[in-house]
Amino acid sequence: MFADRQDAGARLADAVLGLGELDRPFVLGLPRGGVPVARVVADALGAPLDVLVVRKLGAPGHPEYAIGAVGPGGIRVVDPQAAAAVGARDEAITQVERRETAELLRREQRYRAGRAPLDLAGRTAIIVDDGVATGATAGVACRVARALGAARVILAVPVAPASWVARLGDAADDYLAVESPRDFWAVGQYYRDFRQTSDDEVLAALG
């Protein structure tokens, strides 16, 4: 469906431009893979780009299965149904949260070194990732943007499952996906090149 993240970013940028005029847009890429996609979108809009670091909380013993996420400022979301489905106990979740919070702080120090604090007051925050699977990370990112004063939050991705809007509810004001297939399994299946994005690539995209 997409050749790589650059191709996905170009097609997503066209979709965002189709929304019409946006009030003081500010593009926020979710690292790692969302940042190169967000770079293309920001360039197309002529909007500033920054990074918004959030971390998925993987189920204990099943790290790829998201039961929640954490973001800056202590923002935390846990899906009790997802946690119950894998029998995750509070103590185990707390251990995962501590580990992911430490990684969040490490990445913030790496990516945001020398950058001004995020100020989204009165702006349209466009949160971009390379795709949405469970939506846990993206949902936390939307809540962080609201906490930073965004007047409107748009979650924009190249691909997401058909049920994603219902799953995320009112986390964002607007949802935009280039493709939302019903037979969704994983984000990577919709890219020919979905190699992992490095820290250096994130920093290069941020400029």
Per-domain residue ranges for the chain?
A: 5-53+121-206, 55-111
pLDDT higher than 90, residue 8: yes
Residue type, 113: A
Angstrom distance (rounded) from CA 190 to CA 12: 14
User: Which residue is it, tokens 């939050």?
Assistant: 153
Reported as a pLDDT band with limits 50, 70 and 90, residue 86 is confident
Over residues 23-47, mean pLDDT = 97
Angstrom distance (rounded) from CA 140 to CA 109: 19
Q: Which helix (H) or strand (E) holds 156?
A: strand 152-159
Over residues 80-93, mean pLDDT = 89
pTM given for the model: 0.89
Strand order across the beta sheet in which 25-29 lies: 49-51, 25-29, 124-128, 152-159, 174-179
Reported as a pLDDT band with limits 50, 70 and 90, residue 48 is very high
pLDDT of residue 76: 86
User: pLDDT exceeding 90 applies to what percent of the chain?
Assistant: 75
Angstrom distance (rounded) from CA 99 to CA 182: 34
Task: For domain 5-53+121-206, give the fold.
Answer: Rossmann fold (3.40.50)
Q: Taking all residues of the chain, what is their mean pLDDT, rounded to a whole number?
A: 94
- pLDDT tens readout for residues 152-191: 999 999 999 999 999 999 999 999 999 999 999 999 999 9
Reported as a pLDDT band with limits 50, 70 and 90, residue 145 is very high
- pLDDT tens readout for residues 118-138: 899 999 999 999 999 988 889
The Cβ of residue 24 has, within 10 Å, a number of other Cβ atoms equal to 15
Whether the CB-CB separation of 180 and 162 falls below 8 Å is answered with: yes
Phi, psi of 127, rounded to the nearest 5 degrees:
-90, 125
For the domain made up of 55-111, the CATH class stated in words is: alpha beta
pLDDT of residue 113: 83
pLDDT of residue 117: 86
